Structure formats: C-alpha cells, structure tokens
Chain A
Amino acid sequence: MIQLQLGHPKIIDHGQIEIEKVNDAFLKLFHTNEESCFLFWDGIPIRFRYREDFYHCFNEILAMCWMLEKEKEGKTKATLTNQVMKITLKLFWKDDRLEIDALFEAHEELYSKYVEVLNTKNSITISKQSFLFEWNTLLKQFIEVLQQGEVTIKQDTENRKLELLKQVENSIKGYGKLYVNA
C-alpha cells in the first residue's frame, strides 16, 4: 500500500515574487528547517523535504500524474530523489490496475539496509485511481502554496506547466486516504 502524509509547512512571505521556473518557488517559499512530506511505502516512511527534494522531484511527479491521469493504458518512468536515496519507479497500467516496479538506491553505504528492505517490497499492484488520489493531495498543496506565495512565473513554458498542474489536480477527483473521511 502507498500513502502520502503531507507536512504542514509555513511559507516565507515575500509579498509578490517573480520566478523563472515553477520549482524555483520551493526554494523561495519553504524554509530549510521545516516539516517534511512522507511517502509510506508498504508502511515504511520515505522523507521528502519541501524545499530541496520537491525542487528536484516536482517535474517528475507532475509528469507521472499527468501520464497516469490522461492515458487508459500505458507505461512511464519517474525518478525521485531525497537526501538518502534515489527511487526509480516503473509504472505499467491498464484501466484501474497499476503495477509499480521500484528500485531504491542509497546515496551512501550507511543507508544500504534501509533501501535493502524497501527493495524486498519493490513490486506493488494497486488501484491507479487510489495512487493518483494520494499524489493529488500533494498537487493541491503545491497549487495552494504557489497562490499564497503570490508567485508570478516569467517563462511561458513554465506557465504552461503551472496550468498543467492545475489541470491535472482538477481532473483527479479525490484525495489521499489520510485526508478523506471514511
């Protein structure tokens, strides 16, 4: 089972700010010392820091959700990274059945046992919709942060990415298990 638990970060108030790329907002708006988001991979938490890790992972997360949401059948790959590991997700889906093959690679030997146990649970089959619901909670949080941060994006291509973020979030009609009433 995969679940996402959001942090509750307080953003830095700059007033209105202009940035080049959407993910620059994470460096501008989030503190270094802040709550984190946790991906629970079959019960094992994996930490993502809002400032540094989502700066690096935002494009991959958005592309993954976009592909999954728009295609009834397909495959894609997403590469995520945090302080201790690189995660390569290979996703294969047809209708609502989603198979995920993951590879967890530690940046340092110290965390080899941590990725070792994750790699013993590297293959998961779940509902595509429930997987998207989990990530959609985070996409919604990103949109709210960009709005609260009064962010203006200079590049046209990046503005289209922001529009895509809103479109994907709007298309996924639900949120993660920790954020809906049973």
Chain B
Amino acid sequence: MSTHNTKEIYDYTIVGKDLTTFILQPGYVEGVEKLEKTFPDIKTMYSSIFKNTKEYCVVLWNGIPFRWSYTEDLPDLVANIIEILNQIIVNNTEQWHSELKSKTFEALWSFSTKDSMLSIKSSFIRVDGGHQNALNSLSVIKINREHFIAEWKLLIEQLLQSFLASEQIVSGSEAEECLHNIKQINNHIANRALRYQYDKR
C-alpha cells in the first residue's frame, strides 16, 4: 500500500521539527493492587490492573494530540500495540496494517518500511474529543524505525511491570502468548525515547 505523498510530508515540516513526528507520553500508573486472580484474557486483566489510573496516555500525531484512557482504551489496544511492534522488531515485515479499536478510539494504521525508515498512514475513524478529521488532515508520519519503537518503550515497561506487581495470572494460550510477546518486545527495545533517557539529554 503506497499512498504516502511526499508533498504532504514536506508540507508538515514547515512548522517545526518536533511536531512532524510520533510522540507517546504515557500517564502515571497508580496503585496496582495484588489480586492474584486468574483472568481469561489480556483485556480483562489490564482493565483490572489499571482501574485506579486516572492520567491518560497521550499520543502526538504530527503535532495534534489524542488520548487513550488506561481503563477504557488501553486494555483493548494492548494486543494491537504488541502486534505492531512485533511486526517491526521481530518479523521485520515491510507492509501491513492494523485495525485499532477501543471504547473511544478507532483507526486503521497502514505501515510500510524501507531501510531504517517507517511510514504510517492513519485513517482515524473515532478519537476521544471528536477531532478525527483534524488528525486525518495530517495522516502520514514518516519516522526512523528505532525512534518509533523507542516511543513505546515506557508504555511496554508499564504493561510488564504492572502485570508483575499485580501477581495476576492469565489463562488461555492467546493471553499467554501476548504476555510472552510483551516480555520479548521489552527485551528487544534497547532504549526509551530520548526525553526519558535522563542521563543523555
């Protein structure tokens, strides 16, 4: 799928360098309780783990932000996020797409990679706040692959650490595979985004 338009990408760069990219700012994860329960799937498990978290995970898409709730959106999106990162890091896939859908968010992200660069074209269907048309007006992101996966590192760490802190158990092969992938991806992403590498700024 090659709908990326060079003029569009060039146009985005006129405002400022750090606007024309993908930035992910996770919220603060609060009060993970030790429940030691068994959950049938990842979604139910993370809904329970994040039930006390009030801050949002905010994504900046070419300078326009949208938000994901830890209680209402991220539990639905974990499997998508893992799949996206798995395609980039483990499978090294050149072209694919991912349909992301949660309570307040729905989008189709089409990915293509070439050498060290990653292009993402998004069709935003719903976002919290209803500004999907604004996001669709700046729908293409072109970013270094390593920079893109580094943006996810802190969220992946949150998913892993909050799971370990909760001492919960998932049953079912799909859920177990997802957790295995979270651990694998966490090991594969060497660095967090630069703003979270406090000794290097």
Interface set of A (CB-CB < 8 Å, partner B): 5, 7-8, 10, 31, 33-36, 38, 40-47, 83-84, 107-108, 110-111, 113-114, 116-118, 177-179
Contact = CB atoms under 8 A, between A and B. Distances in A.
Contacts of A31: 195, 201
A100 B131 CA distance: 20
A110 B61 CA distance: 13
A interface majority secondary structure: mixed
Contact of A117 (B28, B55, B131): B131
B62 to A, nearest CB: 8
A83 B15 contact: yes
B25 interface: yes
B170 to A, nearest CB: 28
Contacts of B172: none
28 contacts: A5-B55, A5-B56, A33-B201, A34-B195, A36-B58, A38-B58, A40-B129, A43-B128, A43-B129, A43-B130, A45-B67, A45-B129, A83-B15, A83-B19, A84-B63, A107-B15, A108-B14, A110-B11, A110-B14, A110-B15, A110-B138, A111-B134, A113-B137, A117-B129, A117-B131, A117-B133, A178-B55, A179-B54
Contacts of B128: 43
Contacts of A84: 15, 19, 63-64
Interface of B: 11-12, 14-16, 18-19, 25, 27-28, 54-56, 58, 60, 63-67, 128-131, 133-134, 137-138, 194-195, 198, 201
B198 A10 contact: yes
Nearest to A36: B25
Contact of B133 (A34, A36, A113): A113
A34 to B, nearest CB: 5
Contacts of B15: 83-84, 107-108, 110-111
B47 to A, nearest CB: 17
B184 to A, nearest CB: 27
A117 B194 CA distance: 32
B11 A46 contact: no
Given A43-B129, A110-B137, 13 more contacts: A8-B28, A33-B18, A36-B25, A38-B67, A40-B67, A41-B129, A45-B67, A45-B129, A83-B15, A84-B64, A111-B15, A111-B134, A114-B137
Contacts of A177: 54
A90 to B, nearest CB: 22
Contact of A110 (B12, B58, B130): B12
A140 B126 CA distance: 34
Contacts of A111: 15, 63-64, 134
Contacts of B130: 43-44, 117
